[in-house]
Structure formats: structure tokens, C-alpha cells
Amino acid sequence: MDSADLPPSDITEAVQHTLEELGIHDTPRLQELFSQLANQLQKDMAQLAETGAGEPEKLEALRVRWLGRKQGVIRSINDNWLRSASPELKREIGQLLNALREEAERQILVVKRAEGIPMTPAPVTVTPAPVTARWSIPEPTVFVTGALDITLPGTRRAVGVRHILRRVMDEITEIFFSLGYSVEEGPDIESVYYNFEALNIPEDHPARDDQDTFYIDSRTVLRTHTSSVQIRTMEKLQPPLRIIVPGKAYRRDTPDATHSPMFHQVEGLAVDTHITFADLKGTLDYFLKAFFGPEVRTRFRPSFFPFTEPSAEVDISCLFCGARGCRICKQSGWIELMGCGMVDPALYPHVHYEASRYSGFAFGMGVERLAMLKYGVQDIQLFFQGDVRFLRQFR
């Protein structure tokens, strides 16, 4: 087919054929073709001006004819001429095509402005494709293009934060990470062996009383402390060992301002050769200064725990009165904080460690107690009631 065969009235028909079919192989004839198209565009615009520039539908029809995504002249040139063109002509076609597109866009825009037609097409309703996934979209989403006002404030989404107890536990673990400790975990539902026996707490010890412990059956309890993980870890790992165990513990306490049947502990354990009580004191002094602030002083008082020997209670200087004496520290200037001690050598045979070779220390602290002191919380129940007015204060 030769271009001469085409009806001269509408050159846009030619874009439905390839250049090969049109018999066009050189630049001059190509340029002529594009100049005919440019003329046709002018004619269309002139016709529109005469017959209905004020009617948006007519302008839209013209836009679709030239710039439509599926069958528009520009699109067809791209598909039919450009793609199959020889490498020599491709560059030329690309340039001419761009110029024609820009001209068409410009002309249409001029008419729109002159007639006060909105710059955007009618709202587009996007109907979602059939949903086969497990969720569904309730309504078709309507996008009104051009309705976006970027000066409006955005929608603020409510973002949750870590619970205050989780945050305190993270603070504690961070400090011990810096000392080379790693985190271990164990089950909340624990055997009597790991919870009591292996920790040197014999059958007749008051801690094993029904009054103090949730028994699931005679051999299974909700762990009364995270110390049970100490034995599990020592069975698994050989010294040197430096671990902390953050987690929940359970006791049959009646809820009040300082007691809860479920609470959180962080247990610590270090076992190596040549570990002394001085290491224990240095470690806890470092930790408490890092957690509460460098001005805090520590005090160790002799105490008793079944699984440490010797054992100690650790006090810190009162945070509220600077150790001068107040209601909170009961005028003593000191606040009782946690228990600790050297691992009782009687425990080592349970885990097949050589008692003559290794020594170690252990400590345990209540997360709620530390959180209450650091953040001035008066009632332990507040941690578990889920009241957002309370939780929001710890953003």
C-alpha cells in the first residue's frame, strides 16, 4: 500500500499501518507524514473551536482521538511505526512523535484553560478485581483525581508503644549486654525439680507450700521465680557463663499495691573460675548506677536464700530523699531492692560442674519494683489494668 492510496481527508488512518505497509523508508517522506498529522491536528482543533469548544465531551473525544492510551494517534504511531522501524528511522520517528505529542497536549490544554474546563477528567471509579485472597474489600474505592489538597494536615495514626514493664526489662538487659551477658529463657510452666529441688529448696521448705505456689499437679507448678532457668542453662552450657533471664513468675499473693499473683523478674547468673563476692558487688553496683543514676549508692546486707551461700540483700540509697530519711525509705535512707549471693556449691553436682574448680554468683530482681522506684508508680496494679491514661505517660 502506498500513502497515496489513503484518503487525504484523514491522515490518522495511516497510523493503523506499519511504515513498511505504507512504503515509507526514508526521512523526507517520514517528515512529510508527520507534517500531515500536524495539519490534521490543527484541523481538528479548528473544528472544535467552531462547533463546541465549550462542551467538555467534545474536547474529551478529541483528546482520546489523539492522546488516548489505547487507540490514540500517538499511541498507534508508537505501536505501529516506531516499534517495527529500522534502526536508522527509529531515532527520527521518536523525535517527531515527541514533538507531535507535545503539540497535541499543549493545544488541548490551551482550550481547557480558555473554556474554564477543569484540568482533570471526571472522577474515576476503580472497581477492585474479584478478591480471591482471604481478605475482602467492602466497597469500591473512589479516587477523585485532582481532589488531593497537599496543604491539609495528614492523618495522624495512633502508634502503640512498648509497655512500661517491657521497656524497663529492655533497659535492664541493655545494661547487662554491655557487660557481656546474654539472655536465656525458660518455660513458665515448670517442673517441681527445676523450680525447687535442683535449687536446694527441699520438700519441707515453706516456699513450697500450697499457700505460696500455683500447683498444676503435684509435679508441675507455675514457676515461682526465674531462678529455675539457672539450672536449665547450666545443664546446657559449660562455664564460663554469663546470662540474664527476664520473664514472668507467679505466686499466690492477694493483689494489693505491692503484690500481684503474676509479676516479672530478671535473674542473673555468672559462673567461671575465680569469681568472687567482689565481682558480684562490682557488677550490681555498676548495674544500679547505670539504671538509677551515678549518684546512687549501694549496700549489701547478709541474708539467706536456699541456692546461694553466702547470700545478701542489696539496698540502694533512697532516691526520694537523698538518704536523709523519708516516708518511702521509712526514715532509714535505704531502699531494699534485690537478692543475690554466691552460687551454693551444693548446686553444681546437679549440673555436673566441678565444684572445686568453678565459682559463681546469682542475683534476682523484681522488674515491677524497679519500675515503680524509677518512674514513681505508687500501685503495682496499674501495670496490669491496661488503662491507656496510665500507659500513655510512658511514651
319 binds Zn ion (CB under 5 A): no
- The interface region with Zn ion, picked from 31-39, 114-122, 141-149, 318-326 by CB under 5 A, is 318-326
321 binds Zn ion (CB under 5 A): yes
Q: Residues 117, 290, 326, 351: which binds Zn ion (CB under 5 A)?
A: 326
Q: At its nearest, how many Å lie between Zn ion and the CB of residue 330?
A: 8
- The interface region with Zn ion, picked from 39-47, 172-180, 320-328, 382-390 by CB under 5 A, is 320-328
Q: Residues 45, 164, 329, 338: which binds Zn ion (CB under 5 A)?
A: 329
297 binds Zn ion (CB under 5 A): no
Q: DSSP letter string over 126-194? A: EPPPPP-SSS--SSPEEE-TT---TTSPPPPPP-----HHHHHHHHHHHHHHHTT-EE----SEEEHHH
Q: At its nearest, how many Å lie between Zn ion and the CB of residue 318?
A: 3
Q: Which residues contact residue 119 at a Cβ distance below 8 angstroms, ignoring those fewer than 6 apart?
A: 109, 112, 146
Distance CA 365, CA 175 (A): 14
Q: At its nearest, how many Å lie between Zn ion and the CB of residue 334?
A: 8
- The interface region with Zn ion, picked from 162-170, 191-199, 289-297, 325-333 by CB under 5 A, is 325-333
Q: DSSP letter string over 286-321? A: HHHHHHH-TT--EEEEEEEETTEEEEEEEEEE-TTT
Distance CA 314, CA 305 (A): 13
CB 176 within 8 A of CB 244: yes
Q: Which is nearer to Zn ion, 205 or 324 (CB)?
A: 324
| Residue with smallest beta-carbon separation from Zn ion | 318
- Give the DSSP letter of residue 17: S
Q: At its nearest, how many Å lie between Zn ion and the CB of residue 349?
A: 44
275 binds Zn ion (CB under 5 A): no
Distance CA 81, CA 21 (A): 10
Size of the site for Zn ion (CB under 5 A): 5
320 binds Zn ion (CB under 5 A): yes
249 binds Zn ion (CB under 5 A): no
What is the helix, strand, coil percentage profile of the chain, to 5? 40, 20, 40
Residue type, 275: I
- The interface region with Zn ion, picked from 232-240, 310-318, 342-350, 359-367 by CB under 5 A, is 310-318
Number of CB atoms found within 10 A of residue 98's CB: 11
- The interface region with Zn ion, picked from 1-9, 97-105, 203-211, 315-323 by CB under 5 A, is 315-323
215 binds Zn ion (CB under 5 A): no
Q: How far apart are the first and last CA of the chain?
A: 76
Q: Which is nearer to Zn ion, 266 or 296 (CB)?
A: 296
Interface of this chain with Zn ion, residues 27 to 56, rule: CB under 5 A: none
- The footprint of Zn ion (CB under 5 A) covers 318, 320-321, 326, 329
